[in-house]
């Protein structure tokens, strides 16, 4: 597609599969820049100039699963396992609340035992109480990312989080290519995952009133551009409120080293094309610029914002455990202190022209449209 043809396609409001495929295929520097700019401008028109921050706390790296791509899979016996104490988690959340982020995101490897479920429940209650004490009358927003759980568990956590207006769950599908999905999730060391179970979990979360987020990895060995187009259509059919997507990065703690990974520059371009194509297809969702993008290239999250993302999840996990949450190799931010987030804020505002949206929940327009909740 040349620049002239691209301009005529970008003038449209809705896009066909062929249009999305053409966006993903772009490699010409000028054409790519034009696509990314269009996604940024549409984000501004639909969402305004705010960039929402979620303070990310990686509470534990124990996991019962064995996803091939993942550095903290159960079968990786080299991983140093940890679980933060409740006090550490609450203090990390307090840091995010005091920084004005308005929401925190809690993430861990997957566990489904009662001890873990009750632990999360307790921590959520404490974070809710703490954030009210810190001056947020309804309690801070919470995003959970603890994988597939039962309806009862999701409901327990929803009640403990305390603020249903800003209750979110991120559960990525990783890919809508079912053959590839099954390959990614067929490690030998732990429990197994299935596509129907993933869809059921997403539907349950939606039923319970969570703002539902999902996403995929971009550039997985064996993944085609047509797969990525199907991924976008799957986000649509799931009626997702939020998306979190990043480049596929190889992990030496995983079981896919022999499969290789895309060359860095090509992967960066494809990732930005995917973010922009998704923004054009799904204008009202919140879309996060992933840490994996920062790992691929310094300033990657900034490039994500310039390609249509409007959410950043800075890591506020205590320093002592950060290096142990290695989903992929050379993860960024494992050595930086929380105050480096101030530098991140300044860099993002200076380079992207966005303004950090402080002391607001920052829920997606997609969710606010369907729920009737007009305020952020
Ligand atoms: S991707 Fe999630 S569920 Fe799979 S092994 Fe890693 S932490 Fe566990």
The atom number, within ligand 1, closest to the CA of 73 reads 5
**How far does CA 194 lie from the centroid of its chain?**
20
Q: What percent of the chain has pLDDT over 90?
A: 85
Q: Ligand 1 center to residue 256 CA distance, Å? A: 14
- Report the residue among 61, 64, 66, 70 best suited for mutation to probe ligand 1: largest number of ligand atoms under 8 A from its CB: 70
Whether 268 contacts 247, CB under 8 Å: yes
Q: Ligand 1 center to residue 235 CA distance, Å? A: 21
Amino acid 121: pLDDT: 98
Q: Ligand 1 center to residue 91 CA distance, Å? A: 25
Amino acid 1: pLDDT: 87
- Report the residue among 61, 65, 197 best suited for mutation to probe ligand 1: largest number of ligand atoms under 8 A from its CB: 65
Stretches in the chain below the pLDDT threshold 50? none
State pLDDT tens for residues 160-199.
999 999 999 999 999 999 999 999 998 887 668 999 999 9
DSSP 327: S
Q: Ligand 1 center to residue 117 CA distance, Å? A: 17
Amino acid 155: pLDDT: 98
The atom number, within ligand 1, closest to the CA of 61 reads 7
pTM, full prediction: 0.95
- CA proximity to 104, closest of 141, 59, 147, 79: 141
State pLDDT tens for residues 13-49.
999 999 999 999 999 999 999 999 999 999 999 999 9
Whether 307 contacts 279, CB under 8 Å: yes
Residues lining ligand 1, Cβ inside 6 A: 63, 65-67, 70, 72-73, 109-110, 147
């Amino acid at each position: 597609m040349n620049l002239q043809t691209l301009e005529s396609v970008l003038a449209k409001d809705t896009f066909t599969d062929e249009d999305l495929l053409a966006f993903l295929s772009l490699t010409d520097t000028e054409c790519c820049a034009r696509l990314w700019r269009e996604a940024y401008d549409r984000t501004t028109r639909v969402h305004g100039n705010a960039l929402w921050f979620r303070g990310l706390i990686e509470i534990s790296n124990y996991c019962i699963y064995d996803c091939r791509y993942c550095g903290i899979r159960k079968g990786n016996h080299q991983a140093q396992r940890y679980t933060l104490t409740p006090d550490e988690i609450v203090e990390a959340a307090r840091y995010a609340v005091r920084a004005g982020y308005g929401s925190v995101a809690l993430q861990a490897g997957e566990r489904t035992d009662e001890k873990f479920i009750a632990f999360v429940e307790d921590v959520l209650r404490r974070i809710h109480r703490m954030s009210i004490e810190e001056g947020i009358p309804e309690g801070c927003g919470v995003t959970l990312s603890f994988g597939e759980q039962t309806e009862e568990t999701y409901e327990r956590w929803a009640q403990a989080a305390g603020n249903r207006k800003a209750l979110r769950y991120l559960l990525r599908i990783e890919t809508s290519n079912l053959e590839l999905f099954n390959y990614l999730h067929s490690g030998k060391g732990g429990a197994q995952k299935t596509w129907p179970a993933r869809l059921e979990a997403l539907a349950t979360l939606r039923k319970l009133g969570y703002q539902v987020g999902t996403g995929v990895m971009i550039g997985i060995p064996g993944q085609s551009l047509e797969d990525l187009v199907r991924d976008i259509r799957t986000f649509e059919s799931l009626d997702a409120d939020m998306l979190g997507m990043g480049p596929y990065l190889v992990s030496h703690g995983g079981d896919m080293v022999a499969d290789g990974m895309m060359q860095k520059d090509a992967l960066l371009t494809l990732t930005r094309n995917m973010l922009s194509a998704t923004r054009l297809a799904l204008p009202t969702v919140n879309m996060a610029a992933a840490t994996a993008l920062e790992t691929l290239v310094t300033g990657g999250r900034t490039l994500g914002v310039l390609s249509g993302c409007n959410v950043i999840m800075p890591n506020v996990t205590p320093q002592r455990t950060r290096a142990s949450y290695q989903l992929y190799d050379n993860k960024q931010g494992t050595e930086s202190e929380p105050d480096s987030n101030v530098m991140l804020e300044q860099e993002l505002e200076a380079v992207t022209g966005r303004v950090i949206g402080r002391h607001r929940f920052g829920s997606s327009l997609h969710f606010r449209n369907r729920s009737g909740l007009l305020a952020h």
